[in-house]
Structure formats: structure tokens, C-alpha cells
Structure 1
Amino acid sequence: MSTVVQPCARCGTRWAVQGPPMHWCPRCRGVLLSPGPIDAPPERRNYRWVARRPGRLDRSARTSEGGRRAAGTPRYSEIPRWGLRDRPVPDHESDGHRARPLSALTRWTHAALLATAVLFAVSALAEAGRYLILLRNRTRLIEPPLLWFSDALVNTAALFALIMALVAAFATLGWLIEARRVTFAAAGGSDPRSPRMLALGCLIPVINLIWPGVFLTEVVSGHADPRARTAVRIWWAAWVFGGMVTVAALYWRTADSLQAKADGVLFTAFTDVAAAGVAVLTLWVVRTIEGRDLRGRNRLARRWVVAVDPATPLIEPVHPGPTATVSTAADADGADSPDGADRAPQEVVAK
């Protein structure tokens, strides 16, 4: 086997020299470099490897484009997410074998909340459609198929929305238990509240208007991002408002008059809209605590860059003044003499 090779300048293939040196690469038809020893050290090689940016056009492609201008300085549209992390990723290998409460539902928290919001929005549209049918029924009779379709849509949407809301409640409860465990473990302690206490405070009616906000406040109390605390306060107020609206909607169904029942349909649609909004706010709080925005994108850490102001002198530099011309007494006497008019004036620089 030959110990002399010719590298290709285009594809990098090294061809063994068996006879006279070749000029073109058999593979890509690129230019072959001059022959050199295969084991030559880097400082004695007749070539050097150059790293190029991926996607860079070769010389033939550039010439075929008619001498198009090169692109400007490469830049990123956003801060790159690759590289060194600002903080180490917590190690969960030590306790990964332990089963967590509601762990099967916790991974579906985001999807369950989003589905709950969509189903409540559909239920609100169904209630609004029923109210429009009631308005039309004041002057005209409604066809039975339309009434049947409206009733089926209202009942089906309400049933599926309630079932999905229950699933989302259990999934969010599992997420809350895990979030509290991670938060207190990062502080070097353990959650002082048991999973049973968290479940009772979040699932029992009436008291679940107060305790979920307390549990979330304890999670974000040591959070570095103030947006998490603001999100919890907004969600807490919306959660209490949604509970009050739900109680009012249930009480409205006990009315006997036709007008009150018709108004109850419209108020039920408003209740469904409020429930959809609470589901969206819950998803917002969950993702904010996780360090993401509402769309699920990771929030970038704020990085401070040292800015240097332009150097300005504190003392104004001394500039040379204009040259002053002073006439002496001898010049004045010479000017009075008859021949003084022909004498050239003398200049004295004032110091």
C-alpha cells in the first residue's frame, strides 16, 4: 500500500498515489492537492483543514449566481437556548422509583385543562343557541328536530365538560403535590402538608375556594419571578368569582316563571364562559410556575450585560488661542517720521 496520498480539496477524500500524481478527484471531480506522506505531522503537511459555516455555498455555486453579495453578519432572532445552563438540573434519580399520588394523571394536566376550556366554550355556545331558539319561539313555533338537536347538544356538552373538569381537577391536584414537593426539596426540607390534606382542601366544596390559593401561595412565596405571585393572585380571585357564579347559576334553576328560566339559560352560558376562563387561568398559573408562558414556551432568563459609556474627558483640554498683534512705541514714532511709511510693521506675539 502506498504511503503517499493526495487529499481532495472539495470532499476531503485521500487517494493513494500508485503512479503519476492525479489532478482531479475521481469521486467529486474536485482539485487534488500535491502528494504528501500519509503520516506527516500537521506542521509539515501541504494543506490545512478549514471549518466552514454549515450551508455555505461553494465557489462554483457563488460564481453561478452572478456575483451575489455575501450575507451580513450572522445573528440570532432570539437568545440561543443551547450552551451552559444558568442553574443545574435537579437530580431526581434518587427518588425516581417512588410512586407519586395521581402520577398517571399529572402528565396530562396541560391537556386536561385545555380540553376543559374548549368543552366549556362549546357548552356556552350551546346555551346561547338555546336562548336564541327561545327568543324565536315567542312569535313562531320551533320544529321538533331543532329542539331535539338543541337539547342533545346542551346536555352532551355540559356532561362532557363536567367530566373533563373533574379529570382536570385530579390532574391539577397531582401537579400541585409534585410542585410543592420539588419546591420544598429545593429549600432543603419537605412539604409540611400531607397529600391527603391537599386533596381535602382542593376537592371539598366551599372550602376549596380558599385552600387552593393558600397552597399555591406557599409554592410561589420563595419564587424568584414576581410574575408567579401575580398570576396566583389573579387566579385566586377568578376562582372565587367562578365559584360564586356557579352557586348563583344553580340557585337560578329553582325559579318557576318562564322569564326567569329563560334568563337562567343566558346566565348558564355566562357561567360556562367563566368556567372556561378559569381553566385557561389555571393553565397559565401552572405554566408560569414551571417557568413557561401560556403557550408552553420556556421563558428566557434575564441576562444583564455590562454597558460601557463613551469616554468623555472630565477637564476640557487647553486649546491654543489666536495670535495677537501689538504695535510698539518705536513703530508709532517711525510712523510719524518721513521715512517711517516705508518701514515694514513689526509683530510681537503676546504671551
Structure 2
Amino acid sequence: MSPIRPGKVEPRAGRNFRWVARRPGGVPTPAAPRPPVDDRTPAYRETPRWGLSDPRPAADVLPQTRTERLAELAPTLLGATIVLFGLAAFAELLRYGLLLYNRNALVSPTVLAVSDALVFTMGVLAPLVAFAAASASVAWLLGARRNAWQRVGREDPRSAAAVAFGCLVPVVNLVWPGVFLSELATADHRIRSLVRVWWVTWAASGVMLVVSLVWRSQDSLQARANGVLFAVLMNLVAAAAAALTLMLTRRVGGLDLGGRPRSHTRWVVA
């Protein structure tokens, strides 16, 4: 028992003892048995992998919506768009080479048929896949904007219909997609710079498409030949726009161009 001063009540916080009242002459109540202490050395069948960086337990996975499933196809469709527009540029360049060759010699009908088939096939497939990629990219943009606004505890001020209208309607989609992406990338200056580059490339590809349609309406042979060369440049710009779109979707998701998590560089003062 700790020494106490007689006649002074010790506060409970200062005591390291307690009073127990028993009946006179009674048998003390035995203390409740304590469970045995397991002092064995822990053993593991494999190397423990727990630590401070344990992932959080997975929450209940909700079924994906149609928009989310379409958004997952965006990287694949954008990659296919890059390849098809690259092949379209090659087909137009091959046709321009045949035009130069035909100035001094006749072109084989077989080679000409192959060139025409390649130009026609790429001219049909590339725009169709590009439209599918644009639709999937809009679905990705809706999900990315929703997640970004949820992180700050708010809802996206723009409706899904407004975003889809601004991204898919011709002429209008030369301006509004850049606005939507700029609102998404307000917190990261690197993403904002990439958005500006993408915006310029995207607008240039749209303007070049209109110029190409007007150019090909001319009847002179030289104008048509220049139109073929212009189509090569237009397809390359379209492929660059698709590549920048893929890079932008990866960068916003914290991934590299191949879809792997980006490794952040840490600078240490030595």
C-alpha cells in the first residue's frame, strides 16, 4: 500500500491501490481465472507481406454501366485509330509516288488496283474507327470529370448531354472538348500544358479536313496531286491527335503511355 496522509482523501487519479470490502469472517472470492498466455514464437508459412502500405479492403464492386464499359475501350480504339491513320497516310503517299512515276512511265494495272484498294479501305476504316474512339473518349471524359468533382465533394456542373453535344457535334467540337479538358486539369500544370498541345492539334486536324474537301473539288491535275500530298499531312495530323488523346487519358489516370503506373521522380538535396 502506498503511504497516504491520515485524514486526507487521495484522488482516484493519484492512487495505485483500491479498497475491497468483504464480509467479516468471509472467505475471499477467488479471482477469475485468466486465459493462458501464448508465448510461442510466431511462425508463418510464407514471408509476411503486411505493413504500412497495405491496400485497403476492396469495397463492394458495383456492376459497370454501359458508359463505363465503353470508356474502357477508349485506349484500344485510340491505338487502332493511330495505326489506321498511319496506314492511310502511307496509302496516300504511295499514290503520290505513283503519280510521280506515271509522269515518265506507265503504271502497272495491278499496282494501281492495289493502291486504289488501299486508299479506299483506309479512307473508310479510319474515320469509322475514329468516330468509335471519339465516342469512347467522351465516355471516359464523363467518368473522369465525375471522379474529379467527387474528390472535392461536388457534382459536375455540366450535364452528360452537354458534354456529349460539345464533343461530338462538328464545328462545335473544335472548341468545347478543350474547355472540358481544361476544367478537368485545373490542379496539374503538366496536364494543362498537354491539354493545350492536344487542343491545337485537334483544331488543326478539323481545319485541315475542311480544307482538304475544298481542295479536292478543283479539276486541275496539279491541284489533285497537291490534294493527295495534303491528305498525307492531314492523316499524320489525325494520327498525332489520336496519340495525344491516348496520352492525355493515360496521364489523367496516373499511367504512362503503355498503361502502367507512372513512377514519380523524387529529387533529394545532397
1:12-49 deviation line (CA, Å, top 9, x unaligned): xxxxxxxxxxxxxxxxxxxxxxxxxxxxx769xxxxx9
Give the TM-score normalised by the residue count of structure 2.
0.77
Task: Determine if the alignment matches structure 1 residue 255 to structure 2 residue 218.
Answer: yes
Within a 5 Å distance, the mapping from 1:51-130 to structure 2 comes to: 84=53, 93=60, 96-97=62-63, 99=65, 102-130=67-95
Higher mean C-alpha deviation, range 238-247 or range 172-181: 238-247
- Structure 1 unaligned runs (5+)? 1-40, 44-48, 54-81, 310-351
Q: Does 1:168 align with 2:133?
A: yes
Aligned pair 1:281/2:244, yes or no?
Answer: yes
> Mapping of 1:282-297 within 5 angstroms?
282-297=245-260
With over 3 angstroms needed to count, the CA separation of the structure-2 counterparts of 1:147 and 1:234, relative to structure 1, is same
Q: Identify which of 229, 235, 244 aligns with 1:272.
A: 235
Distance 1:263 1:282 in 2: 29
Q: Deviations over 1:187-231 (max 9, x none)?
A: 10111111111110001111101100000011111x3x3211111
Structure 1 runs (4+) greater than 6 angstroms displaced: 88-92
Equivalent AA in structure 2 for residue 110 of structure 1: P
CA distance in 1, matches of 2:60, 2:46: 40
- Larger Rg computed on CA atoms: 1
CA–CA separation in structure 2 for the residues paired with 1:145 and 1:83: 67
Report how many aligned residue pairs link the two structures: 230
Matches of 2:156 and 2:140, distance apart in 1: 14
Unpaired stretches in structure 2, ≥5 consecutive residues? 1-38
Query: Is 2:210 aligned against 1:244?
Result: no
1:124–1:269 CA contact under 8 A, matched in 2: yes
- Equivalent residue in structure 1 for 2:158, among 193, 197, 218: 193
| Larger RCO, structures 1/2 (Cα 8 Å, 6+ apart) | 2
Indicate the residue corresponding to 2:169 in structure 1: 204
Cα separation, 2, equivalents of 1:242 and 1:297:
29
Alpha-carbon distance in structure 2 between the residues aligned to 1:182 and 1:156: 39
Letter in 2 for 1:172: S
CA-to-aligned-CA distance 1:238-278 (integer Å, 9 cap, x gap)? 11111111111111111110110011011001100110011
Distance in 2 (CA, whole Å) between partners of 1:83 and 1:141 is 74
Change (3 A) 1:147 1:304: closer
* Residues 90, 148 of structure 1: alpha-carbon distance in 2 compared, 3 angstrom cutoff: farther
SS in structure 2 opposite 1:297? coil
Once the two structures are TM-superposed, the CA of residue 99 in structure 1 deviates from its matched residue by 2.9
Aligned-pair identity (%): 43
1:52 Cα deviation from its structure 2 partner = 11
Q: Secondary structure at the match of 1:235?
A: helix
CA distance in 2, matches of 1:291, 1:193: 24
Partner of 2:95, secondary structure, is: helix
Q: How far apart are the structure 2 equivalents of 1:216 and 1:93?
A: 30
Counterpart amino acid of residue 53 in structure 2: L
Distance 1:172 1:92, change over 3 A: farther
TM-score when scaled to structure 1? 0.60
Structure with the higher helix share, 1 or 2: 2
Quote how far apart the aligned CAs of 1:153 are: 0.5
Change (3 A) 1:290 1:139: same
Output the amino acid matched with 2:226: D
Aligned residue in 2 for 1:56: none
Contact 1:227–1:288, Cα closer than 8 Å, also in 2: no
In structure 1, what is the Cα distance between the partners aligned to 2:149 and 2:58? 14
* 2:190 is equivalent to residue 227 of structure 1: yes
Give the superposition deviation at 1:104.
2.9
